[in-house]
Structure 1
Amino acid sequence: MPKIKVFILVITSSLFIVITSVFSQVKDKTILGKVIDGQTFDPLPYANITFLNSEVGISSDINGNFSLTNSINANSLVISYVGYKSRIIDLENFNDTEENVFSLLPINIFLQEVTVYSNTNKQTELSEISSLSMQSERIREISAGMPDILRSVQALPGITVNNEFKADFNVRGGNQDENLVLVNNATVYEPFHIKEAANASVGIFNVDLIQKVDLITGGFSARYGDKMSSVLNIQYREGNKKKYTGAASLSLAYLDGYFEGPITENSSFILGIRKSYLEYILKMIDYEDISSVKPSFYDVQGVLSYNFSPSNKILFEFIHAGDDFSYEPTRRNFSSPVIGSFQGQDAEFKSLKTENENYKATYFSNLFDIQSINALSSKSLLKGELSYYKQTDNEYRLFLRDENQDIDILTNADNYYDRIRTERLTYDTLRIETLELKSDLAYQFTPKYEMNSGLSFQDITYNQIIDDIYTYIRRNNFDDPNIEKSDTLITRGDLSEEVPIKVKSYKYNAYLENIFQLNNELTLNIGGRVDYFKLNKDLTFSPRISAGYSLTDRTTLRAAWGYYYQSPIYRQLKSSASSDTNTQSQLAIHYIFGLEHSIFLSDDINNFLRMKIEGYYKDYQNLVSSFFGTFERLTYSGYNDAAGSAKGIDIYTVLSIPTFYCWLSYGLLFANEDKFTDVIGEYPRYTDQRHTLSFISSVDLGAAWSLALKGYYGSGFPYTPRTAVQNNGTWQWKSEQIHSAHLPAYKRIDLRISKAFNFSNSSLNVFIDVSNVFNFKNIQNYEYKTPGFSKPVPEEVPLWPILPSLGIRYKF
């Protein structure tokens, strides 16, 4: 018995020594750390660091650093920041010999947001981030022709376009006008260069100035409104506050550059410029009418920042963009002489048809934005913003066709002729002007509960004048070879607007989000927003909820549901009158569920395989029906006369290993529309692309050589075929059943090879781009040219052939 007591005493003493030793390792230890943004790697000033289940804690300094002594024998630390997902850290995982760096991720990343671009060369904790991050050079590698964030996102799951030279895109069955584009939280409407061209456009945003781009393809939170399909949120960065740096690029198609640096100790700037000279390159291309296209554009943009204090700063951002576009093709078609009969006599018929088109367009847009960011405390953040946006478009198009037929009687000297001239004059002038005021407040009550709220007011001006006039002139001497008879017919075309759009109105909205981090696994965002549009007296309420659940540290489930109203844009309005009988808001109800899983292939977090699958369903109500009309432009009925749906599955896989990166995306989509005023029933929406497949890959070949490939396949979009019919002596196009045919499938592969030369304080990159390297023939649509007195035939509108380019980029 005494031996047992001695044994128990020895065991008890040993346990006491061990426990005391463990506690002594934690207690009174000084914890050194730094809190950073997990995407941009910028420090997070005034982050909250507290011990778990305790009020004891501290805030990080302006550089995100903190020092905290464990005086209460705590085992875990909670790190939180307004707008970010809180983290619980086991103190046993702290490094005692050097600074510990902790990254926090924006809460929206854990829910639905997808970051497609982040301007940093560092890496983050990929196990927690549901994003696709494209670095600056990768954007340059995968953008055909010139770097463009808008065309780069087209490789993402859920995006369809079938023309990678165009910057606008469709998202999950929605059309191009259902996407919200924000620049530093300010709304822009049509941010595209050379958008007048039928088969090309370029985003106005300079990649070198962008800090981050977030794309949400559905289920976005209540802070975003007035659009039904997606949000593209572009954040410009501040200039370098420590030194002057910059870069310049020169290629066959464009030149661009940026310069940044400090102004004073508390202020900085960044300025970027771009200029194209595509008109000179296209002039040398002998393909269809490309040589007669003269697209020219430029943009200047920048950011000025000033820090009043470590917790208060002001940003001034501006973008100025301009275009000058012209298209002046000439076509002549001679017919071989034909022997026939005219008025009972043998005659020789000779024909000549000449077509001339004079199309000129200009585009200018300006965005001026002032943003104030104020950290009221370590738990609250207040943002205020005033932005002004102005866009002007002027388009003039004159189409002339002369059809001449000469008839020589073979038995005498009589000569007859038939002269037909078709003129079509179309012009479109547009002015969009907005003044927007926004205020957003975020308050973190506890590390597990945060509330976001905001108000905004937008003053809107739309002015648009459109006319479309046909003039037919026919002259002949059929009755008497010495007497000419002439007939003239004037009609108006599909684009003609009897009453111009002149709108002066306003919108206001308010939103509230409640973000609950119920535990380390489950996060909820429950909120709603109210929107009011004075023009149509329409007041809407949009409830929304999204959730993220971590099954493991590598696997995440996501779900979202919500109402998404969209007020009518200028092209959808029935009239300019401020009335509740005007076009009302459209509605899409989103249902989304997805799963993401990451596999790390080694201890290096850069070696991973990530897979994501997401299913969705959109219930469209109160739609304004649309179709592609004259010049293949998206045209709206002006009435809430349709309903529809979009459903599908998006899948992507990302593989990253040393010297190789690959991204594969597949989308399956069913998009339908049902117009109430017809008897057809449900038909495919024009965005109904059944299958979409894309890939991006880059290979490090060694010795500073790299190879990048980008591929895209899309099954053909539906379109409405037309048949030529004769009416009162002239030919006209008659539309068949809407979207009853499909265009051919689209396929394309782009190639880029580059070589880097690194110097002590600078670098030089030489590259060769080949767009459509296999020269696939792709069809954008069919052109139904202006009809006249002869029977017209549909013509294919081809997309770009193989286009090589080369250039250099110098960075200092």
Structure 2
Amino acid sequence: MKQPLRGWLLGLLLVPGFVQAQQKQTISGYVRDAATGENLIGVAVVHPSSGQGTATNTYGFYSLTLPASADSVRLVVSYLGYQKGRWAAPAKASQTHDFRLQPLSAELAGVEVVGSREEKIAQSTRMGTINVPITQIKTLPALLGETDVLKVLQLLPGVQSGGEGTSGLYVRGGSPDQNLILLDGTPVYNAAHLFGFFSVFNADALNNVELIKGGFPARYGGRLSSVLDISMKEGNMEKFHGEGAVGLIASKITLEGPIKKDTASFIFSARRTYIDILAQPLIKAGLSSENSSGSLGYFFHDLNGKLNWKISSRDRVYLSAYTGYDKFYSRIRDKYQDEDYNSNKAGLGWGNLTSALRWNRVLNNQLFLNTHLTYSKYQFNIGVEEESRNQGETDKFSLRYFTNIRDVSLKSDLDYLPSPDHYIRAGGQYILHSFKPGAIQAKGSVEAEALNSVAQLGAHEASLYAEDDYRVSERLKVNGGVRLNGFLVDGKLYPSLEPRLAARFLLTPEWAFKASYARTTQYIHLLANSGIGLPTDLWVPSTARVKPQRAQQLSVGAARTLRHHDQDYELSLEAYYKPMHNLIEYREGASFLGTTDSNWENQVTSGRGWAYGGEIFLQKKSGRTTGWIGYTLAWSERKFAALNQGRLFPFKYDRRHDASLVVIHKLKENLLLSGTWVYGTGNGVTLSEGRYRLGVYDQYDDFGPRNSYRMRAYHRMDLDLSHTKKKRWGEVVNSFSLYNAYSRKNPYFLYLREGRTDQNGNEVEKSSYRQISLFPIIPSFSKSFRF
């Protein structure tokens, strides 16, 4: 009797589960652009009968498990800028189907703005996350006609620029080193060209741009303020294609096409400035008139490349690389009497190198695996050489400063979609860091001396994460996860446990309340010499004396999709609070370049920071007129025991008010007008409140509290008019733009102008601070083409 009873009980437990499994059916596959074969990210895949759905991942893969149907199953796929895709087939327990979506016409696709996903803003659990379509980035006005991804992101609420024309990102009270910038999953440590006026990203080579300001999913870690996840194009698998542009300061070209149709493809993109080449005749003529010879100039270049190989229906391999470099050079030789001369050579260069090898495998119709091997390097070099000959004697001197950071990383991510109510992600990563914080070497005619040198330092970083996007009920959806990190340097281990939680609750079908919490840890620091203005900033690791930066961010908000005259508007309101610990700054008067102390740890001090505020974002995503309005009310403060007498002070880029307006209007099918207007409270500065003398020559300033004065408010309008002309071989777009259209004299920095006295010592003019402005109104023209 015991055996039959035991079997009956076992059957009672297992059969319902078995029957339930048999009553499920799973459809999986990829969603791609029909014209190029490019995988599409974030596409909504919906089962209309049940209302259940999912979205494609970073590689265009989807999986949807549904209750069994007696006859057939039908799916609808939708993505902004593309015609809807539909598919129906007899019901099976497991089947695959790849969608190929047809793009809308170029004119219609060109008017789309922020937000490439079809999912309504009220439905998503994510907060502070914005997708920026590349078509929109190319449409907006640009400085000197050079399209810039980072400058478009500065138009979003909660994101600020560092100063006039610069491409730095200051997100929710954080500093630039607190942004994790990923290009095809590989970190980019310095995203600036031309001392910050342009970014390193060539928009023609990019496929997707996503910015996360808060509510970070567990799969991201290593920074406190934001994640900028940028994906390169994969290369056209259908036919050869090219595009490029010629502007005032730079030209670029992008070529892509199939190596083997529907199996392998490539993309290659190059960009270079040419001011140095155009100016050389004038420079040489000017030197010759002063009995000198030589040359000087500046340029930057970018190269992007990617190979994409579909090994099988389940396996795909990608190999991508990027290199970019800025270089300033000066070689001048002054001739004197007889054979005497003076020769000077100077060089300043910095750049990034990234590479990534990725392997995707569909393990089964619910499991997707991505394995990622990456290499990243950032380096900075500055050198000066001088040689002189006087009465037969030759003297030589050289000085060199260099710094770099290198990473090698192995990462594996697993996506598991057991049902429409769960999207589970898990994975791990190992990073080997190598730091060269900086070195100065001097060499004379007789001897060489290392003025300041720091040995190369290695560090190990490892992490594990798991998260689940879980629909608890029709009203409540939660994204919960945890991230475990460890950082080992010089025998010191820093572990951290980071819980992540985001939730949305539908108050009504259109209104959603959202909240998120994230704890983050950053193991690397950026030492910035604010007074230098060059990329001499040093990347340094946490050590036994310098602890990792830590932060917590709590966000609450509401979101709604509004509909007016058959047009959709999306409104989001968010408030955030972010305390930060173990931030580091140089001590008063300290600078790594200005000391013979070889230990940078002796030059820094640590402290705390607080950032809090609110953001409003209203955007219109379709129709002839599109755009958005963004407004931020924010505070960002710091407190260091060794700075400002230990008192609280505003962060340099603390801005009380920040507003932006973006409008894109299609005048005709081939004529597009776009404009932006920005306003921001002036940056904080530290000014002298008085001067005193000791003796005849020694003069000292009595500075006031740190960043206690404000520069004038910043505001600017940019305009762009683009005309598209169809050709037999493709199309040509002529763009005319105005930067700073009403020529506002915005502050760049302040300097103290000394007062004047007459011959009797009477004061004629008092000392006062004067403003230096950088850019007046700047017209520019560019011509781009596609074939």
TM-score by length of 1: 0.70
Deviation track 1:113-163 (CA, whole Å, cap 9, x = no partner) reads: xx9878x8x988777577454342543423323111112100011011153
Q: 1:365 aligns with which of 342, 346, 352?
A: 352
The alpha carbon displacement at 1:202 in A equals: 1.7
Instruction: Please name the residue that 1:233 is paired with.
Output: 229
> Aligned to 2:408, which of 435, 441, 445?
435
Sort the Cα spacing of 1:214 and 1:543 in 2 relative to 1 into closer, same or farther, 3 A. same
DSSP 3-state at the match of 1:139: helix
Amino acid at match of 2:404: R
Percent identity between the two aligned chains: 21
Structure 2: state its 5+ residue gaps. Answer: 1-24, 53-59, 79-85, 89-96, 102-111, 283-294, 333-343, 387-396, 443-449, 530-536, 595-599, 754-765
Equivalence map 1:23-172=2 (5 Å): 36=31, 42=40, 71-72=69-70, 131=130, 133-136=132-135, 138-145=137-144, 146-161=146-161, 163=163, 165-172=165-172
The answer to whether the aligner puts 1:376 opposite 2:363 as a matched pair is yes
1:715 equivalent among 668, 672, 681: 681
CA distance in structure 2 between the aligned counterparts of 1:368 and 1:649, rounded to whole angstroms: 38
CA 271–125 in structure 1, closer or farther in 2 if over 3 Å, else same: farther
**Alpha-carbon deviation of 1:258?**
0.6
Give, in angstroms, the shift of residue 165 of structure 1.
Answer: 2.2
Using the alignment, how far apart are the partners of 1:711 and 1:651 within structure 2? 16
- SS of the counterpart of 1:774? coil
- What's the offset of the Cα at 1:65? 12
Which residue of 700, 712, 715 maps to 1:747? 715
Q: What is residue 84 of structure 1 aligned with on the other side?
A: none
- Map of 1:614 onto structure 2: 574
Residue 324 of structure 2, aligned match among 321, 324, 342: 321
Q: How many residues align?
A: 652
Match of 2:495 among 516, 526, 539: 539
Report the 3-state secondary structure (helix = DSSP H, G, I; strand = E; otherwise coil) of the residue aligned with 2:456. Answer: strand
Calculate the aligned-residue CA RMSD, in Å: 4.7
Q: Is 1:210 aligned to 2:206, yes or no?
A: yes
Q: Deviations over 1:250-301 (max 9, x none)?
A: 111211121111001310011111111245789999xxxxxx9944111110
Is the 1:694–1:713 contact (alpha carbons within 8 Å) kept by the matching residues of 2?
yes
Q: 1:784–1:310: structure 2 CA closer, same or farther, 3 Å change rule?
A: farther
Using the TM superposition, give the Cα deviation of residue 556 of structure 1 relative to its aligned residue in structure 2, in angstroms: 2.9
**Retained in 2: the 8 A contact 1:44–1:64?**
no
The amino acid of 1:508's aligned partner reads: A
- The letter for the 2-side match of 1:800 is F
Equivalent residue in structure 2 for 1:387, among 365, 374, 389? 374
1:693 to 654, 659, 671: 659
Q: What is the CA-CA distance between 1:373 and the residue it aligns to?
A: 0.9
Question: Which protein has greater RCO, CA pairs closer than 8 Å, 6+ apart?
Answer: 2
1:453 aligns with 2:426: yes
Q: State the SS of the aligned residue for 2:527.
A: helix
Q: CA deviation at 1:48?
A: 10
Within the candidate set 437, 449, 456, 1:502 is matched to 456
Question: Which one is further off, 441-450 or 270-279?
Answer: 441-450
SS at match of 2:152: helix
* Matched-pair contact (CA < 8 Å) for 1:465–1:497: no
Stretch of structure 1 that moved more, 526-535 or 255-264? 526-535
Residue 776 of structure 2 aligns with which residue?
801
Instruction: Specify whether residues 163 and 51 from structure 1 end up closer, same or farther in structure 2 by C-alpha distance, changes over 3 A only.
Output: same
In structure 2, C-alpha distance between the alignment counterparts of 1:546 and 1:237, rounded to whole Å: 30
Measure, in 1, the Cα distance between the counterparts of 2:440 and 2:702.
21
Is contact 1:501-1:570 (8 Å) kept?
Answer: no
Q: Say which SS state the counterpart of residue 611 (structure 1) adopts.
A: strand
**Hey, what does 1:244 align to over in structure 2?**
240
Report which of the two structures shows the higher radius of gyration computed on alpha carbons: 1
Q: How far off is 1:577 after superposition?
A: 11
Q: Which residue of 2 aligns with 1:583?
A: 546
Distance 1:397 1:563, change over 3 A: farther
Cα distance, 1:529 vs structure 2: 1.3
Moved more, 749-758 or 734-743: 734-743
The C-alpha deviation readout for 1:755-795, integer Å capped at 9, x for no partner, is: 1112344111111121111111112223589xxxxx99966
* Preserved CA contact (<8 Å) 1:627 1:686: no
- The answer to whether residue 647 in structure 2 is matched with residue 681 in structure 1 is yes
Q: Measure, in 2, the Cα distance between the counterparts of 1:116 and 1:661.
A: 7
Q: Given the superposition, is the C-alpha separation of residues 31 and 375 from structure 1 closer, same or farther in structure 2, using an over 3 Å criterion?
A: closer
Normalising by structure 2, report the TM-score: 0.72
What is residue 465 of structure 1 aligned with on the other side? 438
Amino acid at match of 1:391: Y
Matching residue's letter, 1:646: A
Contact 1:116 1:213 in 2 (8 A): no
Which of 269, 272, 275 aligns to 1:272? It is 269
Deviation string 1:440-467 (CA, Å, 9 cap, x unpaired) is 1122233322332111111111113355
**Following TM superposition, by how much is the alpha carbon of 1:223 offset from its aligned partner in structure 2, in angstroms?**
1.1
Tell me what 2:746 maps to: 778
Residue aligning to 1:175: 175
Once residues 205 and 437 of structure 1 are traced to their aligned partners in structure 2, the CA distance between those partners, rounded to angstroms, is 24
Give the alignment of 1:630-645 within 5 angstroms: 641-645=606-610
Name the CA shift for 1:640/1:379 in 2 (closer, same or farther; >3 Å).
farther
Is the CA contact (8 Å cut-off) linking 1:568 and 1:583 kept in structure 2?
Answer: no
Question: For residues 781 and 429 of structure 2, what CA distance do their matches in structure 1 show?
Answer: 46
Q: For structure 1, which segment, 542-551 or 732-741, has the greater mean C-alpha deviation from structure 2 after superposition?
A: 732-741
Name the stretch that deviates more: 230-239 or 794-803: 794-803
For residue 548 of structure 1, the aligned residue among 474, 484, 504 is: 504
- Residues 774 and 52 from structure 1, CA distance in 2 versus in 1: closer, same or farther, beyond 3 angstroms? closer
Amino acid aligned to 2:524: P
Whole-angstrom distance in 1 between the partners of 2:511 and 2:602 = 45
The corresponding residue for 2:629 is 664
Q: Secondary structure at the match of 1:642?
A: strand
Whether 1:221 and 2:212 are equivalent positions in the alignment is no
SS of structure 1 residue aligned to 2:153 = helix
Greater mean deviation of Cα atoms: 267-276 or 647-656: 647-656
Q: Are residues 629 and 687 of structure 1, via their aligned partners in 2, closer, same or farther at CA, if it must alter by over 3 Å?
A: farther
Is the contact made by 2:137 and 2:148 (CA closer than 8 Å) also made in structure 1?
A: no
Per-residue deviation, 1:677: 3.6
Q: Is the 8 A contact 1:162 1:746 kept in 2?
A: no
Distance 1:396 1:794, change over 3 A: farther
Provide Cα deviations, 1:309-346, integer angstroms capped at 9, x if missing partner: 122101011101111125999xxxxxxxxxxxxxxxxx
Counterpart CA distance in 2 for 1:578 and 1:648 is 30
**Cα 1:358–1:769 shift into 2, 3 Å:** farther
Most deviating of 134-143 and 649-658 = 134-143
Is the Cα–Cα contact under 8 Å of residues 64 and 419 in structure 2 kept in the other structure? Answer: no
Matched, 1:766 2:734: yes
Distance 1:447 1:69 in 2: 10
CA drift of 1:384 comes to: 0.6
